[in-house]
Structure 1
Amino acid sequence: MPAPHAPAPDLSVPDLTRLLARRAGLPQGGTTVYRGLHTTETGGVFSLDLAGDAGVLSLYTDLDPAQEARLAADCAQAAAGAGTPLAGVYLKRRPPEARHLANVARDQLSPPEPVWGEARGEVTALERGVPFVIRPGADLSIGLFTDARPMRAWVQAHAPARVLNTFAYTCGFGLSAALGGAGAVKNVDLSRKVLAWGQENYALSGLGAPDTDFLYGDVFEWLARLRRRGDVFDLVVLDPPSFARGKGGVWRSERDYAALIAQAAAVTAPGGRLLALLNHAGVPAAGLARQVEAGLLQSGRRGRLQTRLVPGEDYPQATHLKAQVWALDCG
């Protein structure tokens, strides 16, 4: 028998409006793509992301269609009351097994049409004044992971001459480095589609985006190739998925991050830095630090934890994303 539908979250429209109004400083500060309602505020049932005039409602439990439609309408009404009116609301169903189902049940998990209001196939939204292409109905991931906004701000503020952005997705970290003055930025991802999307983001900021700066293929193979070529970088950004299937088998961040660190350290210049991100609620910050230390030991490098970064104010009490900046030795 199918699992019973969960009760609708016990939040009124005024409750939702009050929570959304707490984010008023973000659009005023030049950010129009952000987390409007986080799961820590909704009992773990749902979240709401805003991207310009599009809303993206993510469900982490099973609601029936009527409940889904009512919740989308309530979120739209609350957003209007908070001063951020929406033209349409899209739905993302995110059961625990979503990472395994994404390629075989895409339309069920991420319906291409809005569940409320008008379609917005593409939106140009801002993060700290930087424009990004957002596609709210395209996939489970809409073009930018908003919890990493403080990490992209750090990269822009500290961009060195040479940057390698791995698991680049739509190249937010690479773009941040280029806007921060980096002279050479390489973005690596296994999807040509998202790299092309990243080139669109570069173009929106008026930056040149030669194909040679967008490296298609497996990150681990590219790290090995770059090491053989003798290429080194002053900053290597690591933002891997928590789980993935690839040529080498199943990748699990809680088990395999140290090996990734070892490969990344081999292409990090003396005195360079690693920015290590881990999106896994089950691994604490100390666990990430242990994996970084183990990876550095494997590579024969030494380093120290320099900075810890956390998601922004639109992710209250969030513990899923950890980010650490490690400064490597000069030898």
Structure 2
Amino acid sequence: MYLANEWKDYELMDTGDGEKLERWGGVVLRRPDPQVIWPASADPSLWNNANADYHRSSSGGGQWNEKVKLPERWTIAYKELKFHIKPTSFKHTGLFPEQAVNWQWMMDKIKAANRPIKVLNLFAYTGGATVACAYAGAEVCHIDASKGMVQWAKENLALSNLSDKPVRFITDDVFKFVQREQRRGSFYDAIIMDPPSYGRGPSGEMWKLETNLYPFVEECMTILTPNPLFMLINSYTTGISASVLTNVLSLTMKTKYNGKITSGEIGIPITTSGLNLPCGILGRWEA
């Protein structure tokens, strides 16, 4: 498992009974997590002292129960990178801390390349990977279908004092954007994608990972430079294993460019139990 174990501002304090207890800077939150099918390790008093907990609604979505008034948003840092945190109605906070393992890997790859690197970040959300790649010196194009997420990403870039870096933010359907880049003759040295299980583009375009991922990877390959640096695929889709991503990248990237493929689970260490919480999977192709 690839572990995000270098955080200081974030901590997975405990897990148990379908929930996780997390410290985001100075704020402690309880959130549901379907992977947690074991009992809690910590004393109940630790859980009861959470600043807020999230309750799902039977009609969909849910709400936060605040024991103390939370800030509208606050900031946490991963090394030199900074991010705004804000609890949303869908239980998320605007950041997936396990992705730090990918941020670090990408930063290392970009810095070691010793040449200009142009990165395309697709399904880019609030821009964790965008900020990391910009910090490492890459030119980045950030694409997401949600205008609100793109704005959040812009704020994260500014928060890390990187607003002067060459980053383009675009609200668009990723498939249509890639096809337009083909026609424009635009090319990238690295592509990141974090596709949802299901999704809709700005004009109602449908996305289903099992149906669309493989042809989308093929499409993305048409806008890679002759000497690409990496392709990264993240997935949180239940039932899709890391070996599936290995196979997809083997039949596409490795067939054309050779290189190296790695895949596996990503996770976060749990402080009280010493266990690790699985949080998704990754597939990486690198030159």
One-letter code of the match for 1:144?
Answer: L
Q: Match for residue 146 of structure 2?
A: 191
State the shift of 1:255 in Å: 3.2
Residues 285 and 30 of structure 1, relative CA distance in 2, 3 Å threshold: closer
Q: Distance in 1 between matches of 2:10 and 2:217?
A: 31
Q: Which has the higher strand share?
A: 2
CA RMSD of aligned residues (A): 3.2
Q: Match for residue 12 of structure 2?
A: 35
Normalised by the size of structure 1, how large is the TM-score? 0.70
State the shift of 1:293 in Å: 3.5
State the shift of 1:172 in Å: 0.7
Q: Match for residue 132 of structure 1?
A: 83
Structure of greater Rg: 1
Residues 303 and 79 of structure 1, relative CA distance in 2, 3 Å threshold: farther
Q: Match for residue 179 of structure 1?
A: 135
Give the secondary structure class of the aligned counterpart of 1:271: coil
User: Residue 110 in 1 paired to residue 63 in 2?
Assistant: yes
Q: Match for residue 215 of structure 2?
A: 259
Residues 245 and 92 of structure 1, relative CA distance in 2, 3 Å threshold: farther
Higher relative contact order (CA 8 A, sep 6+): 2
Identity %: 22
One-letter code of the match for 2:121?
Answer: N
One-letter code of the match for 1:225?
Answer: R
Q: Distance in 2 between matches of 1:34 and 1:215?
A: 32
Point out 4+ residue stretches in structure 1 off by more than 6 angstroms: none
Q: Out of 78, 97, 113, which is 2:46 matched to?
A: 78
Gaps of 5+ in 2: 35-39
Give the secondary structure class of the aligned counterpart of 1:198: helix
After the TM superposition, which residues 144-159 of structure 1 pair with which residues of structure 2 at under 5 Å, given as runs? 144-159=95-110
User: Residue 323 in 1 paired to residue 282 in 2?
Assistant: yes
Tell me, yes or no, if the aligned pair for 2:76 and 2:85 is still in contact at 8 Å.
Answer: yes
Q: Match for residue 26 of structure 2?
A: 53
One-letter code of the match for 1:47?
Answer: K
Give the secondary structure class of the aligned counterpart of 2:240: coil
Q: Distance in 1 between matches of 2:175 and 2:187?
A: 15
One-letter code of the match for 1:123?
Answer: W
Residues 54 and 139 of structure 1, relative CA distance in 2, 3 Å threshold: farther
Residues 157 and 210 of structure 1, relative CA distance in 2, 3 Å threshold: closer
State the shift of 1:314 in Å: 2.4
After the TM superposition, which residues 292-307 of structure 1 pair with which residues of structure 2 at under 5 Å, given as runs? 292-296=249-253, 301-307=256-262
